Amino acid sequence: MLQVELVSPERVLFTGDAEMVVCRTTEGEIAFLTGHVPFLGALDVGVVKIRRSGAPDEVAAVHGGFVQVRDDRVIILSDVAELGSQIDLERARQAEQELERKVAHDDDAEVEAGLRRAHARIEAAGQPRS
């Protein structure tokens, strides 16, 4: 079993055991299982999936940060993170639509980053993107 902690500056979002953790780093998506070699990586905007034994998966949207793996312990430190179960899906979809309109008219890196965050929030909430 892996011991997992998902932490943002505001609070600890998850702490507990897991069979596997999947997250998106700046180098691509990676999965961690028991016995994984030590790892330290920068998180990209995306979804973290924590596969638990005998319990529903825990899913969170993260907006940057770091992941560290050592001795069957996974620590995810995120600049901003939200559990999928706590995301206001309607608000996330409205943000997505507004940002898609903006990105269609303007090639702005900040708007594109906001759109990626909206997509991560919608995916973490368990919904397909529109």
Query: Which pTM does this prediction carry?
Result: 0.84
Query: Torsions phi, psi of 10, nearest 5?
Result: -80, -35
What's the full length of the chain, in residues? Answer: 130
pLDDT, position 75: 98
Pinpoint the residues of the chain covered by CATH 2.60.15.10: 2-84
The residue among 29, 112, 26, 39 whose CA lies nearest residue 70 is: 39
pLDDT, position 126: 80
Q: Please name the fold of domain 2-84.
A: ATP Synthase; domain 1 (2.60.15)
pLDDT, position 28: 95
For strand 73-78 and strand 58-70, is the pairing parallel, antiparallel, or unpaired? antiparallel
- Rg of the chain in Å (alpha carbons): 15
**Burial of residue 43, with CB atoms counted within 10 A of its CB: 0-12 exposed, 13-18 middle, 19 or more buried:** buried
pLDDT digits (tens, 9 = 90+) for 82-91: 999 999 888 8
List, for the chain, all residue ranges whose pLDDT scores fall below the cut of 50: 130
pLDDT, position 100: 86
Residues with Cβ < 8 Å from 63, sequence gap 6 or more?
A: 45, 78, 79, 80, 81, 117, 120
